[in-house]
């Protein structure tokens, strides 16, 4: 039986791999080893590990590696700590394959540790383009990986142009779309987000529609994080609709984002905003589906929202270059531009579902490929 170690390092990583974990667990030829690391363990960022365990997945190891600071230096040092700690975990678990997801800085620690230990690396979501340090990390992981499971045909072409052999590249779609595909046939908001997830804010009811905000700091613009989030806060406040706001990732600049939110809450005291740390992937997508618009710079607006047909206002450079559907309007960090774009999206309403990032069967494809791929990393992968 082949041992597949999947390293989950952040809140978004779990939704990006959940259906693949389920398919791996159900595959008689595979043994799943789940490793939870970095911000996925921290309460401040929503304790994603709780959702992993509540969904029935056994956690084989926990890796505490996040260094306080939320700046480029702490990101670099966190990566170094992760490299040290993950090497120990891999030595103990002795996996046959290590799966690393997307483009966060913790992802490269996973890939480096496994590569130097001669453990084949499988990279999920390589070949995509974005506007920050994430793109460098993603492409570096591509060069360390032995098997590339990408979301789109353009991503596959880009990986091949980077010098990777075509027979090592497979278009699986994005596993997060699998969850969206499960939600789409029956998308009703069947839970009370305030009762189920708590959060902070005066808002306790959702009347006449609502907005969702998920805005992260841009690592290459981290000194502007506070200024940038204040523009979004002002725009959302002026629109006046009930707004559900989700906390940012643990990136350089997240302290600035948090400070901006806290300052706005204390000085303006907005009555139309409620703030959450996290939700289960399924509940979050139901919440998105029933919203009038998603605002911010999260890739969920590009990926899942395109499939669900949710209108999106994407702010700034964080998603620059990423393939997107017709549901996205791009604006700069200016509250007037943000406000105008949101009103246009509200007026437009729902978009048609776009299968750009998958058809809902990525998890099954990934499990099949992980069971089938030869392990000899010094030899050509032949299928």
Per-residue pLDDT of the chain (383 residues; tens, 9 = 90+): 999 999 999 988 998 999 999 999 999 999 999 999 999 999 988 899 999 999 999 999 999 999 988 789 999 999 999 999 999 999 999 999 999 999 988 899 999 999 999 999 999 999 999 877 888 999 999 999 999 999 999 999 999 999 999 999 999 999 999 999 999 999 999 999 999 999 999 888 898 899 999 999 998 999 999 999 999 999 999 999 999 999 998 888 899 999 999 999 999 999 999 999 999 999 999 999 999 999 999 999 999 999 999 999 999 999 999 999 999 999 999 999 999 999 999 999 999 999 999 999 999 999 999 999 876 644 333 33
CA angle, residues 224, 274, 313, in degrees to nearest 5: 55
Comparing 2-174+359-372 with 183-348, is the CATH topology the same?
A: yes
In the 8-state DSSP scheme, what is residue 111? H
166/106 Cα distance (integer angstroms):
27
The per-residue pLDDT for 251 is 84
Q: Locate tokens 């230096």: which residue?
A: 73
DSSP string, 286-335: HHHHTSSEEEES-GGGTTHHHHHT--EEEESSTTTT----TTEEEE-S-H
The per-residue pLDDT for 376 is 60
Q: Locate tokens 């098997």: which residue?
A: 147
**pTM (whole model) above 0.75:** yes
174/16 Cα distance (integer angstroms):
7
Q: What superfamily in CATH does domain 2-174+359-372 come from? A: Glycogen Phosphorylase B; (3.40.50.2000)
Indicate the SS3 state at residue 3: strand
In the 8-state DSSP scheme, what is residue 57? P
Region label for 380, one of left (φ > 0), alpha (ψ between -120 and 50) or beta (otherwise): beta
Q: How far is CA 343 from the centre of its chain?
A: 26
The per-residue pLDDT for 379 is 39
Domain formed by 183-348, architecture: 3-Layer(aba) Sandwich (3.40)
Domain ranges of the chain: 2-174+359-372, 183-348
């Amino acid at each position: 039986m082949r041992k597949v170690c999947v390293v989950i390092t952040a809140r978004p990583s779990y939704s990006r791999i959940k259906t693949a974990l389920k398919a791996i667990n159900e595959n008689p030829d595979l043994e799943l080893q789940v490793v939870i690391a970095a911000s996925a363990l921290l309460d401040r960022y929503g304790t994603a590990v709780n959702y992993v365990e509540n969904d029935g997945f056994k956690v084989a190891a926990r890796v505490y590696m996040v260094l306080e600071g939320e700046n480029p230096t702490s990101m670099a040092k966190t990566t170094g700590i992760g490299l040290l700690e993950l090497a120990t975990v891999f030595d103990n678990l002795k996996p046959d394959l290590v799966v690393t997801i997307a483009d966060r800085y913790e992802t490269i620690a996973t890939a480096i540790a496994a590569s130097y230990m001669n453990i084949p690396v499988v990279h999920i979501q390589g070949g995509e383009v974005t506007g920050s340090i994430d793109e460098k990390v993603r492409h570096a992981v591509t060069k360390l990986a032995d098997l590339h499971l990408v979301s789109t045909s353009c991503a596959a072409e880009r990986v091949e142009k980077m010098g990777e052999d075509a027979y090592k590249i497979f278009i699986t779609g994005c596993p997060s779309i699998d969850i969206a595909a499960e939600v789409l046939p029956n998308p009703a908001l069947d839970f009370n987000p305030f009762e189920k997830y708590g959060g902070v804010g005066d808002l306790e009811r959702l009347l006449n529609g609502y907005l969702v905000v998920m805005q992260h700091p841009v690592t290459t613009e981290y000194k502007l994080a506070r200024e940038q989030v204040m523009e979004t806060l002002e725009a959302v406040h002026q629109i006046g609709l009930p707004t559900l706001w989700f906390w940012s990732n643990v990136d350089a600049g997240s302290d600035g984002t948090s400070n901006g939110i806290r300052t706005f809450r204390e000085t303006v005291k907005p009555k139309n905003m409620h703030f959450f740390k996290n939700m289960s992937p399924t509940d979050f997508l139901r919440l998105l589906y029933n919203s009038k618009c998603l605002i911010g710079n999260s890739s969920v607006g590009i990926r899942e929202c395109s499939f669900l047909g949710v209108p999106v206002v994407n702010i700034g450079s964080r998603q620059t270059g990423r393939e997107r559907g017709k549901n996205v309007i791009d604006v700069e960090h200016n509250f007037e531009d943000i406000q105008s774009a949101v009103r246009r999206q509200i007026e437009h309403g729902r978009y048609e579902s776009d299968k750009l990032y998958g058809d809902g069967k990525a998890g099954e494809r990934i499990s099949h490929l992980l069971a089938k791929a030869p392990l000899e990393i010094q030899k050509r992968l032949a299928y």
